[in-house]
Amino acid sequence: MKLRIKILFSLLLCSLLSCSNDDDNSSKKTNELPKNKISFEIESTKNQKKQGDCFIVVVEDYTYMISAHDGNNMEDQSFSLQFYKSFDQANSENPPVGTYPIKGIPDLAEIDGFWVTYTDLETDLEYNNNLEGQIKITRSDNQILEGSFSFEATNYDTGESIKIINGKFTTEAF
């Protein structure tokens, strides 16, 4: 609960700080998204397309997070998506260019990868179990972190699965 409050506070703070930089188109864009944006599709009978804001957050000096949501406040958001990456010690630099697996936390004990939590805020269902996918960092420099992703995840309580495809993000580097 304490971590969730910290994450929500960080998201709200990042949303407020990003408003002044929305018109800055000076950075090189290889995935055609404006800075601090994310887009993806949920493959299902509805084939939903989602897009929103995207930020980098470091939680408690050892967890690196790419955090995304849509809407301007908790009342009008339809999703929340977090990519987590643990670091040894206090090393919280941006991950280098490369392809990383998306797996569950126990599966990442011996490999370098990310775990994910996708929350459908309209149904209040969280998907972070039986994770399988990848995130590809295509740019990681002092200005921009960007890449693509796809993954499948299951809701622990209901067993319902989702498949996220055609994901792209770009955010200011940490």
Output the average pLDDT for the chain: 80
pLDDT score for 15: 42
- In angstroms, the CA 173 to CA 140 distance is 7
CB 128 within 8 A of CB 114: no
pLDDT score for 42: 94
The contacts of residue 52 (CB under 8 Å, 6+ apart) are 37, 38, 68, 69, 70, 71, 77, 79
Question: How far are the Cα atoms of 77, 99, 171 from residue 95, in angstroms, in the given order?
Answer: 28, 10, 13
- In angstroms, the CA 136 to CA 98 distance is 6
**Residue-by-residue DSSP string for 105-146:** GGGGSSS--BEEEEEETTTTEEE-EEEEEEEEEEEESSSEEE
- In angstroms, the CA 3 to CA 76 distance is 22
pLDDT band at 71 (very low <50, low <70, confident <90, very high): confident
pTM, full prediction:
0.78
Higher pLDDT, 124 or 29: 124
**C-alpha angle 21-23-24 in degrees, rounded to nearest 5:** 70
